Chain A
């Protein structure tokens, strides 16, 4: 017959409960609180603190470290009661323990557990659980060593974790990549933590568009130190002056001849093509000058102060071999050498009459211009008509430049009176050839005088 009472309330069960409690109580009182121990305490000895030299010596006095849940004291309070050196350290806000207690999830036992046996390490923390960020350096990039093992505190803090030997950065990183480190420390110095905060906000991944100076064109892809020369702290990067000439003065192919505003002609995409507005200068480019290369006129990178006279550049082109002087522009235009517009009246020999229609080289033989003889006979041969009668006489005594005929002869003329029949020596104003049909030695009257017009034809 089954009892309706629960078996756990049966006499045997009650007896079992009582006996169990009794056994527990006996053990509890005799061994102190060792009944509840989670393992034996650490036996490492040190200086005497709180009357003991190791935790093991505390024995079963659990209350030394375990405050009652209802008391206001925390375990940390109990720890520093004996560990007075730590309580002194906590007075300094940047000491390692002060930094740690800022993190509320960290307790003393987070790094210093106990009840793990007498020979367990006094400090046992994985690098990842320690709030390293609070020291000012993040371990985000220092989780695994190059050999794949997790970083241990001792890898960087060889002596004790309260100190860090800054030279250690380059020791490890030079081993990993000497070539890079050599150039890196050359460019940026050896104060690694002046720039590196573990979060690596300054690195190849730095987004330069967040800076005031935007990288474009050929500026993209440069090394930082190509522009930021010898930065030693992060602030050095911010202090770079952004004018072109601040970096490019050394690249100035114009040797300062064009001033310091590189951007007025050059773009970031590249030095060439440059867009220089020559009209901003004293010499305006026109005609064929527009097609010239800069170097055609500007020798040896001389720009400002370049001679602007024609002859300074065109002397080598002078077909006149200097005979026309050095003012090319008097006849020539920038549009081209031809057509040249030479005003002969500027010369000693004024062109008029038929002379104006003559080509230059008809009178100017072998490109001789200046110094060409102005004497008629130097160009004009004495015709057979004259029969040498007038040799030594200047042509212009009878002739003018309009035409050879009619000639105006005022010399002695045998046979015909000067005034007879007309005005002038030429017998009624007739030309020589009216009577002298062949040459001056012969003459005929019948050209004009015949029986029908005895007075002569006009």
Chain B
């Protein structure tokens, strides 16, 4: 796996650019972009789409027997990139209000993202090829035991990361439904 953290740098650059755009809108309009207005709403939509992509496309690629284009390590990079930038855009979309379900969605998003950082950390403790395939070490050394522990931790992490992610998307869809009903589609 290309462990140089390139995707982190891309995420940072993208976040900085988005922040710059947000700051410009803030300066021009002299008010915080509201969640339901053009800019704020677009942030939320695009951010959520990235979050959907991060969850679905990466998983599909991981498990599909047919659609196997691109290296897994690259897909992980994609997953991390969209999984960071998407939530960041959603965070800006909140207009810094955390009431009700919307606030809960923001909280769960933060939890998922943090858990992602944790998972990535554990992930890199496991020796892998440049393609991200785990390398089986030959001996029952202390190192092998440590690696086995790390693998168990990774599995445990998956057990947490995915259900929390599921809770997130469930809540997010309910939030979207409510926003559409009460705001977007209001005549």
Contact = CB atoms under 8 A, between A and B. Distances in A.
Interface of A: 2-8, 10, 12-17, 19-21, 24, 27, 33-40, 62, 66-69, 73-75
B97 A69 contact: no
A127 B62 CA distance: 55
B100 A37 contact: yes
Contacts of A36: 100-102, 175, 178-179, 181-182
A67 B169 CA distance: 26
B181 A69 contact: yes
11 contacts: A2-B62, A8-B162, A12-B163, A20-B170, A33-B182, A35-B178, A36-B100, A36-B179, A38-B97, A39-B97, A66-B182
A34 B181 CA distance: 14
B101 A3 contact: no
B183 interface: yes
A interface: dominant SS = helix
Contact of B159 (A12, A38, A68, A73): A12
Given A4-B63, A36-B100, A37-B99, A68 B181 contact: yes
A74 B164 contact: no
Contacts of A6: 59-60, 63
B55 interface: yes
Contact of B170 (A16, A66, A67): A16
B162 A13 contact: yes
B133 interface: no
Given A37-B100, A38-B99, A69-B181, 6 more contacts: A7-B162, A12-B159, A17-B170, A27-B101, A36-B181, A38-B100
Interface in B149-184: 158-159, 162-167, 169-171, 174-175, 178-183
Contacts of A62: 182
Contacts of B166: 8, 13-14, 16-17, 20
A170 B62 CA distance: 74
A8 B186 contact: no
B185 interface: yes
A7 B167 CA distance: 13
Interface in B40-88: 55-56, 59-60, 62-63, 65
B183 A38 contact: yes
B27 to A, nearest CB: 14
Given A12-B162, A38-B35, A19 B167 contact: yes
Contacts of B170: 16-17, 20-21, 24
Contacts of A7: 59, 63, 158, 162
Contacts of B187: 67, 69, 73-75
Given A24-B171, A37-B99, A16 B164 contact: yes
A68 B63 CA distance: 41
A74 B179 CA distance: 17
B162 A10 contact: yes
Nearest to A2: B63
A155 B84 CA distance: 46
A16 B163 contact: yes
B49 to A, nearest CB: 17
Contact of A39 (B99, B167, B171, B182): B99
B93 to A, nearest CB: 12
Contact of A20 (B171, B178, B186): B171
A239 B97 CA distance: 62
Nearest to B60: A6
A381 B35 CA distance: 137
A20 B167 CA distance: 6
A4 B178 contact: no
Contacts of A68: 181
A75 B63 contact: no
Nearest to B65: A4
A15 to B, nearest CB: 7
Nearest to B183: A38
Nearest to B181: A69
A9 to B, nearest CB: 9
A8 B185 contact: no
Nearest to B168: A20
A284 B100 CA distance: 105
Contacts of B99: 37-40
In order of increasing CB-CB distance, the 10 nearest A-B pairs are A16-B163, A69-B185, A36-B178, A74-B187, A20-B170, A16-B166, A13-B166, A20-B167, A12-B163, A16-B167
A62 B181 CA distance: 11
B165 A8 contact: yes
Contacts of A19: 167
A75 B182 CA distance: 10
Contacts of A20: 166-167, 170-171
Contact of B180 (A14, A39, A69): A69
Contacts of A21: 170, 174
Contacts of B167: 16-17, 19-20
Contact of B186 (A4, A5, A40, A75): A75
A391 B151 CA distance: 178
A205 B152 CA distance: 81
B124 to A, nearest CB: 20
B100 A35 contact: yes
B163 A15 contact: yes
Interface in B69-121: 97, 99-102
Contact of B174 (A24, A37, A66, A75): A24
A33 B178 CA distance: 9
B54 to A, nearest CB: 12
Contacts of A17: 166-167, 170
A20 B174 CA distance: 10
B172 to A, nearest CB: 10
Contacts of A74: 187
Contacts of A15: 163
A186 to B, nearest CB: 41
Which among A4, A35, A68, A74 has the greatest number of chain B C-beta atoms within 10 A?
Answer: A35
